[in-house]
């Protein structure tokens, strides 16, 4: 009886073919989009917006320029963000250097 039951279960297992297919995963944001969002977050920071205003660039215009930047330009600015010290400790020199890079890129894009 046990052998008969085992045989029936095994025959049922092989009676229905198995189908394999690709399972879709949710689309992850591209690296360029993530980098662009990081640069936009930098422009939205109050101290950066204040410095940009002092230099005659509105925060909205800076955001528009970041949106118009090429992926390579965004990667360059985002790469500078990665090289800054962790924990939000920016020296005045690092902060000024980052603002200057951002301004140069914005000026290049606007030409």
Please name the residues in contact with 109: beta carbons below 8 A apart, sequence gap of 6 or more: 65, 68, 69, 70, 73
The phi, psi pair for 96, rounded to 5°, reads -65, -40
Per-residue pLDDT of the chain (111 residues; tens, 9 = 90+): 677 667 666 665 565 666 667 766 665 566 777 888 888 888 888 888 888 888 888 888 888 888 888 888 888 888 877 676 555 566 777 777 888 888 888 888 777
Tell which residue, 111, 110, 100, has the closest CA to residue 64.
110
DSSP-derived letter for residue 21 is: -
pLDDT of residue 58: 86
User: What is the rounded radius of gyration, in angstroms, for the C-alpha atoms of the chain?
Assistant: 27
Residue 39 and residue 66 in contact, taking contact as beta carbons nearer than 8 Å: yes
Query: Model pTM greater than 0.85?
Result: no
Tell which residue, 37, 35, 110, 47, has the closest CA to residue 80.
35
pLDDT of residue 6: 73
């Amino acid at each position: 009886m046990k052998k008969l039951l085992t045989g029936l279960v095994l025959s049922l297992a092989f009676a229905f073919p198995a189908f394999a297919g690709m399972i879709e995963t949710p689309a992850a944001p591209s690296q360029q989009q993530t980098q662009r969002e990081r640069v936009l977050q930098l422009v939205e920071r109050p101290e950066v917006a204040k410095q940009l205003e002092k230099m005659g660039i509105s925060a909205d215009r800076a955001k528009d320029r970041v949106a118009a930047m090429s992926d390579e330009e965004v990667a360059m600015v985002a790469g500078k963000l990665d090289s800054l010290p962790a924990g939000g400790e920016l020296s005045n020199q690092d902060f000024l250097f980052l603002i200057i890079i951002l301004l140069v890129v914005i000026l290049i894009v606007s030409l």
